[in-house]
Amino acid sequence: MREQQGRVVMVSGDEGFATGLVAELNRCAAVEQRPQHHCALQFVYAGSAEQARRLAAEDGLLQAVLIDAAALPDAAAVIAELNRLRPELDLFLMPVAEVDYGPLPIELLDRQDGKPAHLYRQVRTAIQRRARTPFADTLRDYVYSAKDPWHTPGHSGGDSLRDSPWVSDFYQMMGEHVFNTDLSVSVQSLDSLLEPHSVIQEAQELAAVAFGADHTFFVTNGTSTANKVIMQQLLGAGGKVILDQACHKSVHHAVVLFGAEPVYLQASLNPHFGFYGPVPRQRVLAAIDAHPDSRLLVLTSCTYDGFRYDLAPIIAHAHAAGIKVLIDEAWYAHGRFHPQLRPCALESGADYVTQSTHKMLSAFSQASMIHVADPDFDEHRFRENLNMHTSTSPQYAMIASLDVARKQMSMEGFQRLQACFDIATQLREGINRTGVFRVLTLADMLPAELVDDDVLLDPCKLSVDVSGSGFSARQIQLALFEDYGIQVEKVTHNTLSILVTLGATDSKVLRLLNALSKLALKAPANRSATPPRRSVTPLPALSEFACLPRDAYFGNCRVVPLASGGRGVNSDLIGAISADQIVPYPPGIPVLIPGQIVTAEIADFLFDLYHSNTGIEIHGLVNDSDQACLRLLEE
């Protein structure tokens, strides 16, 4: 195991006092450092607020800052700036007695204490508190205690598989700890995800601090469930909700489940590359003004392609109308841990945030979190709603991975993300050097109607334009996979999406750049230097709702073919009411929601798409006697 290192900076204008104290603290660290203390601390001196700010912006090993208010002008402003840059850092203040520093995220130290060893221990304890993984540690200790299981699950720590002539290969492939960490609620020391009161509760409280929430809840069946829990909390037996048409399908499902009345906002589109971006700000604000009786606004930030809203003015406008705000940050769990990525949704004022911790951080698939900052939060009711959607037999390794992912971001998130940015820069420069492929900029990707909306792009998500190669994106995707053993995140008709996560490495960079360089050499000699601009057909306009989605989905329905005897669109569709969600993939945005009227434009779009041979799937169609059909509400 690599040594854990951390740096602590003391900021003071009194160089003699500060350098002397720093020397004493380093002596204490050398004497008292023990393996159980986890992190080897080094204390350094900064003579000004600017030096401290520079260290916070550049030093990935920095864990804490000591601020000598007696010898530093405007210490409160220094604290606020450091917290803005690195909210995960432990901040300690040696205060001036007569000054009120307000509700700042600090711990207080006595400048006149005269006991450096005591001060060192206070700092070390605070850092150790952040580095704890209460649930993961308890799970590890239980596994290593080697108890005999006479309880669920039936594989009993893998014993049912290990010696089997038929399935022992599965055991060998997965490894023993996959099985012996798969335990039961019978193990009381592991707490209860449904009613946490010990190690899970403590892990969630640490996560709330790390992610800047009032409350955090672990979810073991993904952000799909997290979104439904929050919408059940806020909509209950119905209510109006404003939401982006491009929201995740779980949000649309929740509209059906809870009898909500949706107000859909049409997503923006870059037709050349097929990127669907955020909803234009004025469109969101206008919907809030037109529907002040709405109970919830739901937006996705950042998007699959990396677009980030400027959320603060939108959330403030919603709050002024008394509307709660849920931001789906499934793709942005890393957003709080580097100043280049902030502000995140919670810092912009969101009441509820859902995050797929597994998408960008070091958690297992399906591991997600719900963060709450709602001043009107009803915790008892929320726990009941959460329990309705949570298994009574959760996967304990998944819970442990959430605990560990939080610790990693708290202790080294800034450093890891800086490494991600460096790798993204290497990829961008290397791909652009091929002269055939290029990484798109925000200006390339941004739909025209968003240019004044202060939209940003997550640097960890790279979109590569392949249109200059003479090959389609799917051909490049297949060649990367079959010839070079590389799997990319997704494709449009002319772009590849590359996701730079915490697990990106220099060796992976070399292999990807090598593969793209070789594919660039295979580009047809007669390819156009300026490839033709092929546009994506926009989704049809949103149609009116004839009834609530819930009423349509659960109503009496008939199945009607999309085509009429193979001669064209079935005219019986026009004016009928859809009972299902109809979603083409890509882009994964519904063109019909239960309760919507099927217009001629929508019917023509689906017919043309179904017969286009583009490889685009249409989810929600019914296959009846080898005919593509729609489920429609009976008249």
**CATH (domain of 429):** 3.90.1150.10
| Confidence category of residue 113, pLDDT binned at 50, 70, 90 | confident
Query: How many residues are recorded in the chain?
Result: 635
Quote the CA–CA distance of 509 and 504 in Å, as a whole number. 8
Dihedral pair phi/psi, residue 308, rounded to 5° = -120, 130
Q: Which of 273, 284, 203 is nearest to 243 (CA)?
A: 284
Q: For the sheet with 90-94, list strands across it.
A: 39-46, 4-11, 62-68, 90-94, 107-108
Q: Is residue 541 part of a domain?
A: no
Q: Is residue 426 part of a domain?
A: yes
Q: Is residue 537 part of a domain?
A: no
Quote the CA–CA distance of 90 and 130 in Å, as a whole number. 9
Angle separating helix axes 281-290 and 311-320, nearest 10 degrees = 10
Strands 490-491 and 456-457: unpaired
If asked whether residues 501 and 553 sit together in one domain, one would say: no
Q: Is residue 528 part of a domain?
A: no
**Residue 448 structure tokens:** 């025209």
If asked whether residues 405 and 286 sit together in one domain, one would say: yes
User: At 276, which amino acid appears?
Assistant: Y
What is the distance, to the nearest Å, from the Cα of residue 25 to the centroid of all Cα atoms in its chain? 39
Q: Is residue 538 part of a domain?
A: no
Tens digits of residue pLDDT in 153-177 = 999 999 999 999 999 999 999 999 9
Alpha-helix runs per DSSP H in 72-215: 75-85, 116-130, 134-144, 159-162, 168-174, 176-180, 199-211
**Residue 237 structure tokens:** 């037996």
Tens digits of residue pLDDT in 365-380 = 999 999 999 999 999 9
One-character DSSP codes across 211-236: HT-SEEEEESSHHHHHHHHHHHHHHT
Quote the CA–CA distance of 229 and 225 in Å, as a whole number. 6
If asked whether residues 267 and 404 sit together in one domain, one would say: yes
What is the distance, to the nearest Å, from the Cα of residue 408 to the centroid of all Cα atoms in its chain? 15
If asked whether residues 219 and 361 sit together in one domain, one would say: yes
62, 103, 361, 408, 511 from 508: Cα distances, Å: 28, 45, 17, 21, 5
User: Which residues are within 8 A (CB) of 532 and not within 5 positions of it... i.e. 6 or more apart?
Assistant: none
Q: Which of 149, 203, 130, 142 is nearest to 400 (CA)?
A: 203
What is the domain count for the chain?
A: 5
Tens digits of residue pLDDT in 177-190 = 999 999 988 999 99
If asked whether residues 32 and 121 sit together in one domain, one would say: yes
If asked whether residues 263 and 159 sit together in one domain, one would say: no
If asked whether residues 126 and 270 sit together in one domain, one would say: no
Q: What is the predicted pLDDT for the residue at 538?
A: 87
If asked whether residues 275 and 400 sit together in one domain, one would say: yes
Tens digits of residue pLDDT in 583-612 = 998 888 999 999 999 999 999 999 999 988
Please state the pTM of the whole predicted model. Answer: 0.94
**Residue 232 structure tokens:** 């059940």
> In this structure, what CATH number is given to the domain that contains residue 194?
3.40.640.10
If asked whether residues 86 and 168 sit together in one domain, one would say: no
Say if residue 37's pLDDT is above 60.
Answer: no
Judge contact between 598 and 543, C-beta under 8 A.
yes
Tens digits of residue pLDDT in 311-354 = 999 999 999 999 999 999 999 999 999 999 999 999 999 999 99
**Residue 294 structure tokens:** 């709405």
> In this structure, what CATH number is given to the domain that contains residue 561?
3.90.100.10
Neighbours of 209 (CB within 10 A): 16
Q: Which of 92, 113, 130 is the last residue in one of the domains?
A: 130
Strands 268-270 and 461-465: unpaired
What is the distance, to the nearest Å, from the Cα of residue 189 to the centroid of all Cα atoms in its chain? 30
Determine the average pLDDT of the residues in 451-459. Answer: 96
If asked whether residues 556 and 466 sit together in one domain, one would say: no
Which domain covers residue 238, as residue numbers?
189-410
If asked whether residues 482 and 517 sit together in one domain, one would say: yes
Quote the CA–CA distance of 162 and 134 in Å, as a whole number. 30
Q: Is residue 184 part of a domain?
A: no
> In this structure, what CATH number is given to the domain that contains residue 39?
3.40.50.2300
If asked whether residues 254 and 392 sit together in one domain, one would say: yes
Q: What is the predicted pLDDT for the residue at 388?
A: 96
